[in-house]
Amino acid sequence: MINWSVNLTMLFNEVPFLERFQAAAVVGFQAVEFLWPNGVDLDAIVAAKEASGVEVALLNINAGDMASGDRGLTNNPKKKAWWREQTEITIGLAARLKARRINALAGNKIPGLSHDEMIDCLCDNLTWAVPKSEAHGITLMLEPLNRFESPRYLLGRIADATDVIDRLNSPTVRLQFDIYHTQRTEGNLVKLLEVHIEKIGHIQIADSPNRNQLGTGEINWPFLLGQIERLGYTDFVGLEYVPLPNTKESLNWLPDNKRGQCRADELNL
């Protein structure tokens, strides 16, 4: 069975952020996730989550000014104090939301720093965060991004992230496997899932190449999701796509009564 989570940063954006928790619940979702909600009152987020009854599967640490190109600052030695402050805030919010995963985007390559220096900073920050997240039962996620859209991002391939995970050697740091980013960069999805399944703590999906809903691109979703089931993956699969023409119509591939969980062969694909 596939356990679904819906990303509130990208879907249900027809309504204000705080209303999206209830909007997701109304159409049948039992779990949600979101990027760091800049400018939104944290107490109000907790209240909206509680009122809706949904579970929060994952949220992102503040990744900086993403609209201007930031993709996290975990690898930036000059931003270490800022990153740690933001991570403590995120862990605190995650604990209040009873969320078990937070995503730490690694950051863009920094002029004047070597690859090893950036990886050392990334590992140092994550090592610092591990006991703080462990104290609340929270897992830190590390996510590669495709270089077509994030050309300066430090971790462009699955192996870039798993090398860091192996170096840290902690069950509290796991791989966030984004199907869309991986298909754009590497393809070979099933083999990569097979090789790294024990390291994966969260999966996100969108069709390729335009990052819209399932069935709009090149991926054979019934086959791929069936393979994820075959591999015994039981954590969440997050819908992180750009809905066309709107959220409601973009969900036609997912039966109304199957938005908590379902089998791959039950989809309208």
Is residue 240 among the annotated active site residues?
yes
* Cα–Cα dist 256/133, whole Å: 35
pLDDT at site 64: 96
pTM: 0.97
pLDDT at site 65: 95
For 220-267, write each residue's pLDDT tens digit: 999 999 999 999 999 999 999 999 999 999 999 999 999 999 999 999
Terminal CA-to-CA distance of the chain, rounded, Å?
16
Domain 15-179+189-208+225-240 has CATH 3.40.50.2300: no
Hey, how many other C-beta atoms are within 10 angstroms of the C-beta on 253? 14
Per-residue pLDDT band for 49 (boundaries 50, 70, 90) equals very high
| Mean of pLDDT values over 161-181 | 98
Enumerate the domain spans of the chain. Answer: 15-179+189-208+225-240
Pairing of strands 261-262, 2-7: antiparallel
Q: How far does CA 69 lie from the centroid of its chain? A: 18
Q: Which two tokens stand for residue 44?
A: 């109000």
Q: Which of 229, 240, 249, 266 is catalytic?
A: 240
For 76-125, write each residue's pLDDT tens digit: 999 999 999 999 999 999 999 999 999 999 999 999 999 999 999 999 99
For 51-90, write each residue's pLDDT tens digit: 999 999 999 999 999 999 999 999 999 999 999 999 999 9
Q: Which of 143, 194, 218, 249 is catalytic?
A: 143
pLDDT at site 89: 98
For 145-165, write each residue's pLDDT tens digit: 999 999 999 999 999 999 999
